[in-house]
């Protein structure tokens, strides 16, 4: 299967579409669909996860493989045969050459014998008694009769001067010419030995002759030379007797290399010299072999043998065509044989490959069927391995079937469970919603009834109405808690995780429970030492804190203290609530976070709770990534705690305060960044207003430096945007500008709470000094807040609320406020615009410290702040009893900002 999948390439594996897909076998493309459809099956998933093949070559078919195998087998045979052929050819040639040389040797021996016979005859004739007596006539007669018996041409007797005395061709007594071959005669007289002449032209016989001449010796002296002339045709007989194959050319050469006799065209070539290469070789060796051409121009292999006696030689020329003809035939036969073997092999390979590949392809259908989850039809093949694969596919189908069945049943069960859970959760949700509407009516009616003063009602009736109302409220709480549990269980609650300031969250929680605490006679106290924020959903965390706080209050004995703590605990922040209640009974500790779990305490306590609060709290804390628990407090009571992952403060990097520099000119920015880093700041740099805003959104900064002349907007609008970001509502912003006048005017008109102003040109020493000062400006401890209001109650509420964090300077008149301003060192101003007989707005232009720097202000008014003024202040709030909480929350945000910078400053210092 992996092999098949490798061929099936998925989109995105680098192959162009269309072309490659077209020639894919049908089963491969269908496999793509198969894999797509069944990719949830584990076995196929594994294959899909293979990395796609980038360079994809089609592998050879079985047929191609087998044909290559056949060729691989046959080719070495061919090479061996060629080597063998070469060997046989060389041997055959050698043997032919040797045989021919032997034949030549036999022929030359025959020639020698023939000449020796003639010589012997002449030597016998030389001893004739007729010669010493000078009876030449008788000698002529005797010689003539001898010549006729022999196959000689004539016999000639000559004296030393070369004059012929007897010539059998001429009747005795007639005049005779001189000796035809005087050189021969001279050698005979000189050596006294028989001499065989080369071929020469006989003057009497008028034809080419060869002469054998012997000396005639009398009394130890050579008197005459007796010669017999022989015609070369006589030697032809010797060649003919040998019966050489018809095409072979044999020739007899005299000692000078002239052709004496020849099997072919003797009349034409007798008397000519032989082929130069042959003659040259014959002169040097007694026997040998040379490849040459005959005088007719026929290419021949010539073998020759030379006689040691006469120096005559015989050469036999075997035509090259005849010599190679056999070899060529052998070669052709071999080639035909080899090709026949190859063709047969390829034919067989094709036949068998077809068998194998069709058997393999027969497996594709069952494999595809397995993929589709159908029952595969397993084919029978006559190849064992393929049968085994088929069996494997069958097996795989059954395994797959089993797994699919198991999974389906598990999935069905799971679906059933999920459906049941959904129905349940929907049911609970619907019921809760439906319960609420009548509950609203009931609770409201009872409340109205309870509040109506009707003298006709008895005290018992009033009591019953009160019980009914209290229980309707309890039912409302129960429905709300059930709905919370259901939402948490169903995962419907979306957690909006963000940075949360623990202190302000706990302060809000305490504020919200103050009324309850007063009713129960408990005192609330906050101890917040944590220097870190946490990451959480503030609403949900508040729900948890409220739950713990209300539990603690409910279980507190009268006049006891409930302490809420925020502290760092390793890499966590721990929120804990300590009460001085009766503690948790031993047998209840294990179930305390279970739903509807309530300890067996007095009925009065039990009535107020739903038994779901801690369960909900635990679930929320779990989802916030934290941990909830409790322990017995030393000295009685219980401590419930929540640990949450702590967040590092964002406005510093590795302990260095972090600055944002918005500067258009890159080179200026580089210089400034370098200086800031040297001075111990971490600096982020942006060249456009857009980038600056996105950076400021993503991080807290201890300070922001703004060039008033940015490419995509002026500095004023950038500062306005920055001020709208919650984390930079009061971050020190410092202007870096080459054109201070214009910027200052803009800024003055909108008073953006800019804490310092630096006029260009760039003076780094001056700049560093100002930054440090600006940072310190908010670093006073505790912060000083001016509060201008003509209502003593409001003044009191605010002063009390800010008691822990700030020194509040209260003023009821403009004059008092101006005096406080003159005293200096104010971090924040809270101003009521509507005073008795005057307007707090008149104070706004004066909200500058002695250095002329604007003081952040909060306006607090019955009427809407004027549009121009609204821009001038941090926030404008309506004055009403209910929104005092809102006001305090805003104040806390300001204070927390100042406080965090203050502590950073202290650390930095």
Partner 1 sequence: MTPVRILHVDDEQDIREIVELSLGLDPQFTVRSCGCGEDALVAAADWSPDLILCDVMMPVMDGPATLARLRDNPLTANIPLVFMTARLQVRELEHFKSLGATGVIAKPFDPMTLAQSVRDHLRSAELAPPVAHLAHCPP
Residues that bind partner 1 (CB under 8 A): 433, 436-441, 443-445, 447-448, 451, 473, 476, 480, 483, 494, 496, 539, 863-864, 876, 878, 880, 882-883
Conformation bin of residue 753: beta by default, left when phi > 0, alpha when psi is -120 to 50: left
Shortest CB 605 distance to partner 1, Å: 23
SS3 461: helix
SS3 440: helix
Kindly tell me which of 131 and 446 has the beta carbon lying closer to partner 1.
Answer: 446
Kindly tell me which of 445 and 709 has the beta carbon lying closer to partner 1.
Answer: 445
Decide: 829 and 788 in contact? Cβ < 8 Å.
yes
Shortest CB 795 distance to partner 1, Å: 21
Sequence-separated (6 or more) residues with CB below 8 Å from residue 97: 289, 301, 303
Shortest CB 796 distance to partner 1, Å: 21
Sequence-separated (6 or more) residues with CB below 8 Å from residue 286: 305, 306, 308
Shortest CB 661 distance to partner 1, Å: 34
Decide: 856 and 894 in contact? Cβ < 8 Å.
yes
- Give the separation between CA 260 and CA 114, rounded to whole angstroms: 14
Shortest CB 618 distance to partner 1, Å: 19
Q: Are strands 656-662 and 703-707 parallel, antiparallel or unpaired?
A: parallel
- 339-348 long-range contacts (CB < 8 A, ≥24 apart) are 341/74, 341/77, 342/70, 342/71, 342/74, 345/70, 345/71, 345/73, 345/74, 346/67, 346/70, 346/71, 348/70
Shortest CB 802 distance to partner 1, Å: 23
244 C-beta neighbours (distance < 10 Å), count: 17
Kindly tell me which of 133 and 440 has the beta carbon lying closer to partner 1.
Answer: 440
H/E stretch holding 63 reads: helix 62-126
Kindly tell me which of 780 and 869 has the beta carbon lying closer to partner 1.
Answer: 869
Shortest CB 799 distance to partner 1, Å: 23
Q: Is the peptide bond before 176 cis (omega within 30 degrees of 0)?
A: no
319: phi then psi, degrees, rounded to nearest 5: -60, 135
Shortest CB 491 distance to partner 1, Å: 15
Shortest CB 881 distance to partner 1, Å: 8
- Residue 688, both tokens: 């456009």
748: phi then psi, degrees, rounded to nearest 5: -65, -40
The burial of 586, by beta-carbon neighbours within 10 Å (0-12 exposed, 13-18 middle, 19 or more buried), is given as exposed
Shortest CB 692 distance to partner 1, Å: 27
Conformation bin of residue 12: beta by default, left when phi > 0, alpha when psi is -120 to 50: left
SS3 569: strand
- Give the separation between CA 317 and CA 339, rounded to whole angstroms: 36
Kindly tell me which of 851 and 867 has the beta carbon lying closer to partner 1.
Answer: 867
Kindly tell me which of 498 and 742 has the beta carbon lying closer to partner 1.
Answer: 498
* Nearest residue to 110 via CA among 235, 214, 244: 235
Kindly tell me which of 492 and 745 has the beta carbon lying closer to partner 1.
Answer: 492
Shortest CB 538 distance to partner 1, Å: 8
Shortest CB 482 distance to partner 1, Å: 11
Kindly tell me which of 341 and 878 has the beta carbon lying closer to partner 1.
Answer: 878
Decide: 265 and 296 in contact? Cβ < 8 Å.
yes
Shortest CB 476 distance to partner 1, Å: 5
* Nearest residue to 700 via CA among 684, 676, 716: 684
Helices (H), ranges, 178-319: 182-191, 233-242, 266-269, 276-284
- Give the separation between CA 42 and CA 361, rounded to whole angstroms: 24
Kindly tell me which of 443 and 828 has the beta carbon lying closer to partner 1.
Answer: 443
Ranges assigned E (strand) in 648-702: 652-653, 656-662, 682-686
SS3 740: helix
Angle between helices 384-451 and 320-361 (to 10 degrees): 30
- Give the separation between CA 730 and CA 707, rounded to whole angstroms: 18
Cα–chain-centroid distance for residue 842? 72
Kindly tell me which of 161 and 437 has the beta carbon lying closer to partner 1.
Answer: 437
Kindly tell me which of 445 and 598 has the beta carbon lying closer to partner 1.
Answer: 445
Shortest CB 755 distance to partner 1, Å: 28
Kindly tell me which of 360 and 516 has the beta carbon lying closer to partner 1.
Answer: 516
Q: Is the peptide bond before 761 cis (omega within 30 degrees of 0)?
A: yes
Shortest CB 841 distance to partner 1, Å: 15
* Nearest residue to 484 via CA among 628, 623, 608: 623
Helices (H), ranges, 19-61: 19-23, 26-37, 42-48
Shortest CB 882 distance to partner 1, Å: 5
Shortest CB 878 distance to partner 1, Å: 5
Kindly tell me which of 477 and 776 has the beta carbon lying closer to partner 1.
Answer: 477
Cα–chain-centroid distance for residue 486? 48
Kindly tell me which of 861 and 905 has the beta carbon lying closer to partner 1.
Answer: 861
Kindly tell me which of 109 and 543 has the beta carbon lying closer to partner 1.
Answer: 543
Kindly tell me which of 515 and 603 has the beta carbon lying closer to partner 1.
Answer: 515
- Give the separation between CA 884 and CA 830, rounded to whole angstroms: 13
Kindly tell me which of 331 and 884 has the beta carbon lying closer to partner 1.
Answer: 884
Decide: 35 and 44 in contact? Cβ < 8 Å.
yes
Kindly tell me which of 47 and 468 has the beta carbon lying closer to partner 1.
Answer: 468
Shortest CB 410 distance to partner 1, Å: 36
């Amino acid at each position: 299967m992996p092999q098949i999948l490798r061929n099936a390439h998925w989109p995105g594996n680098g192959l162009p579409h269309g072309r490659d897909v077209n020639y894919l076998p049908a089963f491969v493309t269908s496999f793509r669909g198969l894999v797509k459809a069944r990719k949830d099956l584990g076995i196929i998933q594994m294959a899909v996860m293979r990395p796609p093949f980038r360079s994809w070559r089609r592998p050879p078919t079985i047929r191609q493989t087998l044909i290559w195998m056949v060729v691989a087998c046959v080719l070495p045979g061919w090479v061996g045969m060629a080597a063998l052929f070469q060997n046989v050819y060389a041997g055959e040639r050698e043997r032919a050459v040797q045989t021919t040389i032997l034949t030549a040797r036999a022929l030359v021996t025959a020639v020698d014998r023939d000449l020796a016979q003639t010589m012997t005859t002449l030597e016998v004739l030389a001893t004739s008694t007729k010669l010493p007596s000078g009876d030449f006539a008788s000698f002529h007669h005797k010689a003539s009769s001898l010549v006729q018996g022999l196959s000689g041409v004539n016999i000639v007797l000559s004296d030393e001067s070369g004059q012929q005395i007897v010539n059998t061709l001429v009747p005795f007594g007639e005049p005779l010419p001189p000796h035809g071959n005087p050189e021969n005669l001279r050698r005979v007289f000189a050596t006294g030995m028989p001499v065989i002449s080369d071929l020469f032209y006989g003057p009497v016989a008028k034809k080419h002759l060869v002469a054998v001449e012997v000396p005639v010796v009398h009394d130890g002296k050579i008197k005459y030379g007796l010669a017999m002339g022989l015609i070369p045709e006589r030697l032809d007989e010797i060649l003919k007797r040998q019966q050489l194959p018809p095409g072979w050319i044999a020739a007899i050469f005299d000692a000078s290399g002239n052709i004496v006799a020849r099997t072919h065209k003797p009349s034409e070539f007798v008397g000519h010299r032989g082929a130069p290469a042959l003659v040259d070789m014959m002169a040097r060796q007694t026997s040998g072999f040379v490849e040459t051409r005959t005088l007719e121009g026929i290419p021949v292999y010539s073998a020759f043998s030379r006689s040691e006696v006469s120096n005559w030689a015989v050469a036999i020329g075997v035509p090259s065509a005849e010599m190679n003809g056999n070899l060529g035939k052998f070669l052709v036969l071999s080639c035909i044989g080899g090709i026949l073997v190859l063709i047969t092999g390829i034919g067989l390979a094709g036949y068998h490959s077809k068998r194998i590949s069709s058997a393999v392809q027969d497996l594709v259908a069952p494999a595809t069927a397995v993929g589709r989850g159908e029952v595969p039809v397993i084919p029978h093949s006559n190849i064992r391995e393929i049968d085994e694969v088929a069996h494997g596919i069958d097996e795989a189908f059954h395994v797959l079937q089993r797994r699919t069945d198991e999974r389906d049943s598990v999935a069905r069960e799971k679906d059933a469970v999920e459906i049941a859970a959904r129905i349940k959760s929907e049911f609970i949700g619907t019921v809760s919603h439906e319960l609420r509407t009548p509950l609203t009516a009931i609770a409201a009616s009872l409340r109205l009834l309870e509040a109506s003063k009707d003298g006709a009602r008895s005290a018992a009736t009033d009591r019953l109405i009160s019980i009914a109302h209290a229980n309707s409220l309890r039912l409302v709480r129960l429905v709300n808690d059930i709905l919370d549990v259901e939402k948490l269980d169903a995962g419907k609650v979306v957690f909006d995780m963000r940075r949360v300031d623990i202190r302000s969250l706990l302060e809000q929680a305490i504020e919200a429970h103050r009324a309850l605490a007063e009713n129960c006679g408990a005192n609330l106290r906050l101890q917040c030492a944590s220097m870190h924020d946490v990451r959480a959903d503030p609403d949900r965390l508040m729900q948890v804190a409220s739950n713990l706080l209300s539990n603690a209050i409910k279980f507190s004995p009268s006049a006891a203290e409930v302490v809420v703590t925020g502290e760092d605990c390793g890499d966590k922040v721990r929120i804990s609530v300590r009460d001085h209640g009766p503690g948790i009974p031993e047998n209840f500790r294990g179930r305390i976070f279970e739903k509807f779990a309530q300890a067996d305490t007095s009925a009065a306590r039990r009535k107020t709770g739903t038994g779901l609060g801690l369960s909900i709290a635990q679930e929320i804390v779990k989802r916030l990534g934290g941990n909830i628990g409790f322990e017995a407090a030393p000295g009685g009571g219980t401590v419930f705690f929540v640990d949450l992952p702590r967040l590092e403060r964002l406005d510093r990097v590795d302990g260095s305060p972090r600055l944002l520099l918005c500067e258009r000119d890159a080179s200026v920015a580089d210089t400034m960044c370098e200086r800031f880093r040297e001075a111990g700041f971490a600096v982020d740099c942006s060249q456009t207003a857009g980038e600056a805003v996105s950076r400021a959104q993503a991080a807290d900064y201890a300070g922001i430096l703004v060039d008033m002349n940015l490419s995509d907007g002026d500095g004023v609008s950038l500062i306005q945007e920055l001020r709208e970001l919650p984390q930079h509502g009061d971050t020190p912003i410092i202007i870096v500008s080459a054109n201070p006048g214009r910027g200052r005017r803009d800024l003055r008109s909108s008073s953006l709470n800019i804490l310092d102003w630096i006029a260009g040109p760039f003076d780094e020493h001056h700049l560093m000094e100002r930054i440090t000062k600006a940072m310190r400006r908010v670093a006073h401890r505790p912060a000083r807040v001016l509060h201008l209001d003509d209502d003593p109650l409001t003044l009191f509420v605010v002063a009390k609320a800010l008691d822990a964090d700030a020194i509040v300077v209260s003023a009821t008149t403009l004059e008092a406020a101006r005096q406080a301003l003159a005293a200096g060192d104010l971090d924040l101003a809270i101003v009521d615009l509507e005073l008795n007989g005057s307007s707090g707005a008149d104070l706004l232009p004066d909200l500058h410290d002695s250095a002329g720097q604007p003081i952040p202000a909060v306006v607090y008014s019955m009427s809407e702040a004027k549009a121009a003024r609204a821009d001038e202040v941090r926030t404008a709030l309506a004055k009403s009893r209910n929104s005092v909480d809102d006001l305090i929350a805003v104040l806390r945000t300001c204070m927390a900002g100042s406080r965090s910078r203050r502590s950073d400053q202290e650390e930095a210092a």
